[in-house]
Amino acid sequence: MTTKAVRIAVAGAGMIGRRHAAIIRVTPDCILSAIVDPAPAAADFAHTLGVPLFGSLAELLAVARPDGVVLATPNPLHVEQALAAGVAADRRERLGRAPVGAGLSGLLAQAVEYRRHDEHIDAQLAGT
């Protein structure tokens, strides 16, 4: 049985976003589907990776249907962006992670889970 690859977009083309993009690209069954960043330097990064660039998360969610979005943006933007991604997933009748639809407490639980994921990525990068 063939597993369908998970299409993941990365919002934020700074140091952390680039680290996430690198891991996604080498992870089996994952495809880097897009980069989201309004900075001019992000265009070169997206072009190098061969993926489309979107200037905002709203623009991405209006035209693309990634299976997931990594938020590698400044921390103050995370709640707003996570809620926008959750609303887009609900509007498209796609199942997302339950915490996104569970209000702020669920969103905070998801943020803790993301932090654990970041630590896992750091450990993987240290081993390469």
Q: Tell me what pLDDT residue 13 has.
A: 96
Q: What is the CATH number of the domain that holds 105?
A: 3.40.50.720
Residue 81 in tokens = 């962006």
Establish if 90 belongs to a structural domain. yes
Domain that holds residue 23: 6-126
Residue 94 falls inside a structural domain:
yes
Residue, of 102 and 33, whose pLDDT is higher: 33
Residue 48 located in a structural domain: yes
Whether pLDDT at 111 is above 70? no
The answer to whether residue 1 sits within a structural domain is: no
Global confidence as pTM = 0.69
Total domains present in the chain: 1
The top-scoring range by mean pLDDT among 26-35, 71-80, 103-112 is 26-35
Nearest to 6 by CA among 48, 25, 35: 25
Q: Residue 93 pLDDT > 50, yes or no?
A: no
Contact between residue 100 and residue 86 where contact means Cβ atoms under 8 Å apart? yes
Structural domain contains residue 56: yes
Would residue 41 count as lying in a domain?
A: yes
Question: Three-state secondary structure along the chain?
Answer: CCCCCEEEEEECCCHHHHHHHHHHHHCCCEEEEEEECCCCHHHHHHHHHCCCEECCHHHHHHHCCCCEEEECCCHHHHHHHHHHHHHHHHHCCCCCCHHHHCHHHHHHHHHHHHHHHHHHHHHHHHCC
Residue 22 within a domain: yes
**How does the average pLDDT of the chain come out, rounded?**
75
Mean pLDDT of 14-26: 91
Identify which has the larger pLDDT, 78 or 10: 10
